[in-house]
Amino acid sequence: MTTTSATTDTSGTPGPRVAAVGVDAIGPGPRKRRRNYRPTNIIGQVVLWVLLLGMTGLFLYPFVWLIAASLKPRGQVFDNKLIPETFRPENYAEVWDRLPLLSWAGNSILIAVLAAGLVTISSSVVAFGFAYFRFPGRNFLFGIVLATMMLPGAVTLVPQYLIWNELGFVGTNVPLWGANLFGSAFYIFLQRQFFLGLPREIFEAARVDGVGYFGLFWRMALPLAIPSFIIVFIFEFQASWNNLQGPLIYLNFGSVEQFTVPLGISFAMTQFSPTAGGQGDYQLVMVAALLVTLPMLIIFAFAQRYFIEGLATQGRKG
């Protein structure tokens, strides 16, 4: 976590001027500044911008298309006009009547909050155990934690289903968050790195002052670990919110009201499918697709830094 500052120095700052000050403050000042204004550099930057703007167009196009399609009447979903010929904002009202979106959203939110909350707490407890306590077998056990990160999910899919089946939880949402009670390898790794970044002396001093082992975690480490909590929480929230396969396995045969949003939309895609069934009300699927994306975009707008830091850290673990 200590080296991630390199990736953030240009993101958080609103204006390029501030970033330039940062660079000058570290770098060999005047020489660098002069190079910025060399004509070849300016041309290079313009070319870069043109390329990047082109890529931006390609990356944003599906979003713009999605918004346009969600506002079109039934027959026009297929045309590719980015401004609808006839606007039909009623789609946004109609979708709630045609699909049980509210109960889907309720299920999805409940599951995502439980999954993310539980994994944040359990992983940080375990991570603190690995970071601060010395006990026989610690390195071996942590090696196993790392090894399980490489385990492909497909291998444990069937046995985990059978375990939940034995426990009687298939058809409920418990399997979609239950295993998070026990922590998750990548988050344990992430939070352990964070805890190791805290100076050990403050914990030793607290021990001398008579703070118990649990107090070290609860009173000292937790308050300091909030930033890593946020990373873990939003990562798992996203994973859970977007999860399709889990609900497909555990909820698919219950009532439609029990679905999560991704499972529900997948179900609606079949109902309204333009390829399989002809002219369904596919514009409603578009509205629903937009609505399921929106919460993540809002979270991203507020927590962009954490996503990118989290990923950059992930890259460094190799």
Partner 1 sequence: MAVATTSDSGTRRGGKPAATKRRKVESFNKREALAGYLFIAPWVIGFLLFTLGAMVYSLVISFSHYDLATNTATPAGLSNYQLLIDEPKVMLSLGNTLYYAVLAVPLEIIVALALALLLNRVKRGSGFFRTVFYLPKMTPSVATAAVFLLLLNGNRGAINDFLGFFGIDGPQWLVDPAWIKPSIVIMALWTVSGTMIIFLAALKNVPRDLYEVSSIDGAGPIRQFFNITLPMISSAMFFNIIVLTIAALQVFDQAYLLFHRDAVNAAPEASLFYGIYLFQQAFRSFNFGFASAMAWLLFVIIMLISLIQVKLSNRFVYYEGGDRK
Residues within window 249-288 making contact with partner 1, judged by CB under 8 A:
249, 252, 261-262, 265-267, 269-270, 273-276, 282, 285-286
H helical segments located in the chain? 5-8, 16-26, 29-36, 39-70, 91-98, 101-132, 138-149, 153-166, 185-197, 200-208, 213-215, 222-224, 226-242, 245-250, 261-271, 282-316
Kindly state the number of chain residues that form the binding site for partner 1, as judged by CB under 8 A. 118
Cβ-based nearer residue to partner 1, 36 or 255? 36
Q: Is 143 in the site for partner 1 (CB under 8 A)?
A: yes
Question: For residues 165-204, which are near partner 1 according to CB under 8 A?
Answer: 165-166, 179, 181-183, 188, 192-193, 196, 200
Nearer to partner 1, 148 or 255 (CB): 148
Q: In the bound complex, what is the minimum distance in angstroms from residue 93's beta carbon to partner 1?
A: 20
Query: What is the smallest separation between the CB atom of 33 and partner 1, expressed in angstroms?
Result: 12
- Tell me the closest approach of the beta carbon of residue 182 to partner 1, in angstroms: 2
Q: Which two tokens stand for residue 247?
A: 């609900």
CB of 267 to partner 1, least distance (A): 8
Tokens 């006009």 correspond to 81
Q: From the list 37, 135, 140, 302, which residue makes contact with partner 1 (rule: CB under 8 A)? A: 135
CA dihedral 205, 208, 210, 214 (to 10 degrees): 60
Q: How far apart are the first and last CA of the chain?
A: 14
179: which 2 tokens? 């295993």
CB of 22 to partner 1, least distance (A): 12
Burial class (CB within 10 angstroms; exposed 0-12, middle 13-18, buried 19+) of 166 = exposed
Q: Are 315 and 6 spatial neighbours (Cβ–Cβ below 8 Å)? A: no
* Range 15-44, binding partner 1 (CB under 8 A): 16, 36, 44
CB of 109 to partner 1, least distance (A): 14
* 194 in Cβ contact with 225 (< 8 Å): yes
Question: Given the rule CB under 8 A, which of 61-69, 88-96, 98-106, 223-231 is the region that contacts partner 1?
Answer: 61-69
Q: Say which DSSP state 77 is in.
A: T
